[in-house]
């Protein structure tokens, strides 16, 4: 056999790589960390030995000695088309800092999320980015005492143990609702989800913005939050049932594009004139919203910027910053044919 690892026998260590490359263990470590001062010739020599020996460093062992240069990313689910832009921003920053991101999916279930965070801690990851977790602020704080943490999709400006980076969701909701009101509409509903984790969830913050805009316009008596069931197999009203209200709303602000596109489709199937009979605005400005056949007005929350800021914030936490940061990114209303 020509495989270098087979010739040496047993587990390949950094010492084997150093011997094969004819350099010191410290030199191999510098190459692997992409440290300053490593020549191109040294890097090529070491990387050639790493490939030849099929060397893979032990993350756990590196964690015992210090940083593992690994970051855990926990996503609430994979269906939201907003997530790729967020991950693009985070990955760029982490890659430039020589960190590797390991993604897991919590499936919107608290028990799964807790087990995944525990696994990230056990693997000695240097920090975690949580996206829209279904965990309470108290539980997040307890985890943040064990590992540096940045949370996206969770508004808790009073948190001290962890940082948050979000779209200014309340402002975005106010913008969307104010646009519907400016079009002469008064019967405006908001499509949202059932309350779960108190006042910290994104859709709760968007509800506050919707109610504020309606109240400022003197329409506080017309406020209506339609709490649809989150999954088809769960109890509660359907999103489409909004269209059966009597009278039917003149406008709907949907807390996410995922639901806004579905409502828009249902309205068109029923022959409802959008936007003259029913105007719809979503949130996230996902790629589907911009398709001409959909033409959904939506709030752009700058996912790439949020991801970049989250990664920068986490790296500064890992670097020793103790003062909490709670960052809000200003959204933008993108108008299309649905409103």
- What does the DSSP 8-state code read for residue 242? G
User: 214 or 58: which carries more pLDDT confidence?
Assistant: 214
Same domain, 73 and 144: yes
pLDDT of residue 86: 94
Please tell me the total count of domains within the chain: 3
Please tell me whether residue 309 adopts helix, strand or coil conformation: helix
Q: What is the mean pLDDT of the chain?
A: 89
pLDDT of residue 2: 41
Q: What is the mean pLDDT of residues 125-148?
A: 93
Mean pLDDT lowest among 7-16, 231-240, 257-266, 277-286: 7-16
Same domain, 213 and 283: yes
Same domain, 92 and 180: no
Q: Is the pLDDT of residue 1 over 50?
A: no
pLDDT of residue 35: 66
* Domain membership flag for residue 63: no
Mean pLDDT lowest among 99-108, 181-190, 246-255: 99-108
pLDDT of residue 176: 98
Write the CB contacts of 144 (distance below 8 Å, at least 6 apart in sequence): 161, 162
Return the percentage of the chain with pLDDT > 70, whole number: 91
Please tell me whether residue 203 adopts helix, strand or coil conformation: helix
Same domain, 108 and 38: no
Q: Is the pLDDT of residue 200 over 50?
A: yes
Q: Using CA atoms, how far apart are residues 241 and 319, in angstroms rounded to an integer?
A: 50
Mean pLDDT lowest among 3-12, 83-92, 131-140, 202-211: 3-12
Return the percentage of the chain with pLDDT > 90, whole number: 68
pLDDT of residue 197: 61
Residue-range definition of the domain harbouring residue 261: 169-301
User: 60 or 302: which carries more pLDDT confidence?
Assistant: 302
Same domain, 102 and 117: yes
Residue from 153, 160, 158 nearest 135 by CA: 153
pLDDT of residue 288: 94
Q: Is the pLDDT of residue 6 over 50?
A: no
pLDDT of residue 64: 46
Q: What is the DSSP secondary-structure string of 84-128?
A: HHHHHHHHHHHHHTT-EEEEEE-TT-HHHHHHHHHHHHHTT-SEE
Neighbours of 217 (CB within 10 A): 16
Residue 302: C-alpha distances to residues 206, 212, 329 (Å) = 16, 23, 7
CATH number at residue 322: 3.40.50.2300
Same domain, 231 and 278: yes
Q: What is the mean pLDDT of residues 135-156?
A: 94
């Amino acid at each position: 056999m020509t495989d270098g690892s087979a010739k040496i026998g047993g587990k390949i260590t950094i010492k084997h790589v150093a011997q094969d490359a004819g350099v010191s263990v410290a030199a191999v470590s510098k190459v692997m960390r992409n440290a300053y001062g490593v020549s191109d010739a040294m890097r090529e020599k070491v990387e050639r030995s790493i490939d030849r020996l099929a060397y893979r460093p032990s993350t756990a062992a590196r964690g015992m000695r210090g940083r593992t240069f690994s970051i855990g990313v926990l996503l609430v689910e994979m269906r939201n088309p907003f997530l790729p832009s967020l991950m693009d921003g985070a990955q760029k920053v982490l890659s430039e800092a020589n960190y590797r991101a390991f993604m897991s999916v919590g499936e919107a279930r608290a028990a799964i999320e807790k087990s995944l965070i525990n696994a990230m801690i056990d693997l000695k990851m240097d920090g975690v980015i949580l996206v829209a977790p279904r965990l309470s602020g108290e539980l997040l704080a307890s985890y943040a005492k064990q590992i540096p943490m940045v949370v996206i999709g969770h508004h808790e400006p009073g948190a001290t143990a962890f940082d948050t980076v979000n779209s200014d969701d309340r402002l975005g909701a106010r913008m969307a609702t104010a646009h519907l009101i400016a079009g002469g509409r008064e019967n405006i509903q908001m499509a949202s989800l059932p309350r779960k984790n108190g006042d910290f969830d994104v859709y709760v913050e968007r509800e506050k913005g919707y109610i504020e805009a309606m109240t400022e316009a003197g329409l506080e008596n017309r406020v209506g939050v339609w709490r649809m069931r989150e999954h088809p197999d769960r109890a509660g009203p359907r999103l489409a049932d909004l269209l059966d209200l009597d009278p039917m709303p003149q406008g709907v602000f949907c807390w996410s594009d995922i639901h806004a596109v579905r409502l828009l489709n249902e309205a068109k199937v029923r022959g409802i004139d959008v936007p003259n009979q029913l105007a719809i605005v979503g949130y996230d400005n996902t790629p589907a919203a911009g398709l001409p056949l959909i033409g959904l007005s939506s709030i752009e929350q700058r996912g790439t910027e949020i991801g970049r800021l989250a990664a920068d914030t986490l790296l500064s936490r890992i670097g020793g910053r103790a003062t909490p940061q709670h960052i809000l990114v200003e959204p933008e209303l993108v108008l299309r044919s649905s409103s």
